[in-house]
Amino acid sequence: MPKHFLSRRRFAMLPAALALPGVFGVGAALAQETVKIGFTGPLSGGGALYGKNVLSGIEMAIKEINAAGLEAGGKIVKLELVALDDKYSPAESAINARRLVQQYQAPVVFVPHSGGIYAMQTFNEQEKFLIMGYSSSPRITEAGNKLTVRIPPTFDSYIEPFTHYAMKRFGKKIGLLPGNHEYAKNWTQLFAPAWEKAGGTVVANQPLSYNRSADFYTGVSRVLAEKPDVLFVGGASEPTALIARQARELGFKGGFVIMDQAKLDEMAKVTDGLALLEGSIGVMPVSYATDIGSQTFTAAYRKAYGADRDPTAESAYNYTMMHVVAGAMKLAGAATDAAAIRARIGDAANMLPKEMNAGQLRGIDAAGGMVAEPMAATVENGEIKPVSLGALMK
């Protein structure tokens, strides 16, 4: 039995992390207030699993917060999640956000794709709601929007280590098969020049509609005709895995560079194991992490959603940040004032107990991005192997 399964089982008996009353909890005999937390993301189509993973982390955190009790501004606050499907469409994200703010008075809206974040940034400061953006695109915080928090670390930290690993192991010719959504475009715009700067050649670039198609053979065939050593792929986990599987079926023997939106453990469910993903480099799955926050969260997640269901980074980061938002409400003494909540996000993150910090967040930078040190993972000899970004450069 692989060692990582033994490691993961040791933590199965850990208690679920709860919002600690001593940190963010309530007093007695206070008036009550219900506050809506908004979510807009893909809950149907090719990105549905991705959106549902984000949503599950937020849902889990809200249940814990309500069970422990939250007090802000002299009132007991009950949080209620309102989730709307935007089918990965930025235009739908904007429509949903306006509905969440105007109809439900949500002071905070979670959104897990860069296109939706950009669309909402055109009016969120005017309508006074806080965007909790789950996307690692650097552009999100470069916009200077004062009511936006970028949840994960930026993806540009992965590019050089991933390039070095793939080029050293497989060769210098790469074929690009990214999604055609905004986030994948941002990744590709930075990745392709970095690959060439490192001495490699981009032999083909064929964006694909990860959200609308399940048959990628035509696009994959065009790229494989140029005989790449490595394929660059990435979008939601399920379509990314389908592309990898179809590439193998068409005879591809090289490695995969996988942008951080797709997760190796989820991809393995589509490819019937890790064999077809041999030689991949991507981000480390949460369930393989050894820090106490990730392990505690993994145990609690399996208890909530099923022993056979592993959490993803989307689940973990959004779970952690929902707890941070609740803490910021407590510290601000206001559960509906977006600016006041945003002002205390950093303090709340720093106060978060390690057991609840599944994203290993270390605070927030001046631009509004959460600070963390992500880990990568490779697939070697049929196993997922965690590795630091620094080690990939050796």
Question: For residue 76, what is the domain's CATH number?
Answer: 3.40.50.2300
What pLDDT is attached to residue 394?
Answer: 86
Residues 250 and 380 in one domain: yes
Residues 58 and 140 in one domain: yes
Q: CB burial class (10 A; 0-12, 13-18, 19+) of residue 75?
A: middle
Residues 30 and 130 in one domain: yes
Residues 343 and 218 in one domain: no
Residues 298 and 241 in one domain: no
Residues 15 and 45 in one domain: yes
Residues 244 and 228 in one domain: yes
What pLDDT is attached to residue 14?
Answer: 35
**pTM value?**
0.80
Q: The domain containing residue 277 runs over which residues?
A: 156-287+375-392
Q: Confirm whether 369 is domain-assigned.
A: no
Q: Which of 173, 29, 38 is nearest to 99 (CA)?
A: 38
Q: Confirm whether 66 is domain-assigned.
A: yes
Beta-carbon neighbour count of residue 10 at 10 Å? 11
What pLDDT is attached to residue 366?
Answer: 94
What pLDDT is attached to residue 373?
Answer: 80
What pLDDT is attached to residue 2?
Answer: 42
Q: CB burial class (10 A; 0-12, 13-18, 19+) of residue 329?
A: buried
Q: Give yes or no for a contact between 82 and 37, defined as CB atoms under 8 angstroms apart.
A: yes
| Domains identified in the chain, total number | 2
What pLDDT is attached to residue 3?
Answer: 39
From residue 327, alpha-carbon distances to 65, 146, 191, 297, 333 in Å are: 10, 19, 36, 18, 10
Q: Which of 26, 28, 56, 31 is nearest to 41 (CA)?
A: 56
Residues 146 and 186 in one domain: no
Q: 204 is written with which tokens?
A: 């083909």
In tens digits, the chain (394 residues) has pLDDT values of 443 433 333 333 333 333 444 455 544 567 899 999 999 999 998 889 899 999 999 999 999 999 999 999 999 999 999 999 999 999 999 999 999 999 999 999 999 999 999 999 999 999 999 999 999 888 999 989 999 999 998 999 999 999 999 999 999 999 999 999 888 999 999 999 999 999 999 999 999 998 776 789 999 999 999 999 999 999 888 999 999 999 999 999 999 999 998 999 989 999 999 999 999 999 999 988 888 999 999 999 999 999 888 898 899 999 999 999 999 999 999 999 999 999 999 999 999 999 999 988 989 999 999 998 888 999 999 999 999 999 999 8
Q: Confirm whether 366 is domain-assigned.
A: no
Q: Confirm whether 338 is domain-assigned.
A: yes
Q: Confirm whether 330 is domain-assigned.
A: yes
Residues 124 and 268 in one domain: no
Residues 16 and 115 in one domain: yes
Q: Confirm whether 184 is domain-assigned.
A: yes
What pLDDT is attached to residue 211?
Answer: 74
Residues 16 and 131 in one domain: yes
What pLDDT is attached to residue 172?
Answer: 98
Q: Confirm whether 365 is domain-assigned.
A: no
Residues 117 and 183 in one domain: no
User: Is the dihedral angle over the CA atoms 320, 324, 325, 330 positive or is it negative?
Assistant: positive
Q: Confirm whether 166 is domain-assigned.
A: yes
